[in-house]
Homo-oligomer: A and B are copies of this chain.
């Protein structure tokens, strides 16, 4: 089996072990970010939604849901919570009153900046052993992987794949129901 050397030893690792290490670190980074944004009273899902709305205000819920890859019904509850906290607001489109355009409130804009600061502190924390050159090298390598696999830039990994017609390569081979 390849990659039996311990992770920190600097020995050669096979592709399987390297991909595993990537998943392991990604999960670690994501979990720690979640702990940090919890201090702002929100979850990573909320943070991603605020960011998406801030980046492009005025879009319909469906447009945002489709970009983030989550179900419209899931978006409703996220928007409900953020609207209740006064960070986000729905504005009915007078042209087509079915649409609810999403906008940040002033408080929401402020909160989004706080999230940016938290994200930066989080990054410094996760990457603190790497100097500037190391970080640039890592960014270049990960950027190539992200481009190769067509990952959408601003979209949080916590959001699941689009439900309908998204799993053809992932057919369960047995009915594990218990």
A158 at the interface (CB under 8 A from B): yes
Q: Which of B25, B39, B120, B149 contacts A14 (CB 8 A)?
A: B120
Number of copies of this chain in the oligomer?
A: 2
Given A7-B147, A153-B7, A142-B21 contact (CB < 8 Å) = yes
Nearest opposing residue in chain B for A146, CB measure: B7
Is the CB of A97 closer than 8 A to any CB of chain B?
A: no
A19, A81, A134, A148: which has the most chain B beta carbons within 10 Å? A19
A138-B139 contact in complex given A7-B146, A122-B19, C-beta closer than 8 Å: no
Q: Is B136's CB under 8 angstroms from A173's CB?
A: no
Q: Does A129 contact B (CB under 8 A)?
A: yes
Whole-angstrom distance between the Cβ of A142 and the nearest chain B Cβ: 5
For chain A, what secondary structure do more than half of its interface residues adopt (helix, strand, loop), or is it mixed? helix
Interface size of A by CB at 8 A reads 79
A151 CB contacts on chain B under 8 angstroms: 7, 24-25, 28
Q: Which residues of B lie under 8 Å from residue A127 when comparing CB positions?
A: 15, 18-19, 145
Stretch of A30-38, A57-65, A99-107 with 4 or more beta carbons under 8 angstroms from chain B = A30-38
Q: Given the complex, which residues of B lie within 8 Å of A137, measured CB to CB?
A: 137, 141
Residues from chain B with a CB closer than 8 A to the CB of A72 are: none
Residues of A within 8 A of B (CB): 1-2, 6-10, 12-31, 33-35, 38-41, 81, 113, 116, 119-120, 122-124, 126-130, 134-149, 151, 153, 155-158, 161, 167, 169-174, 176, 178
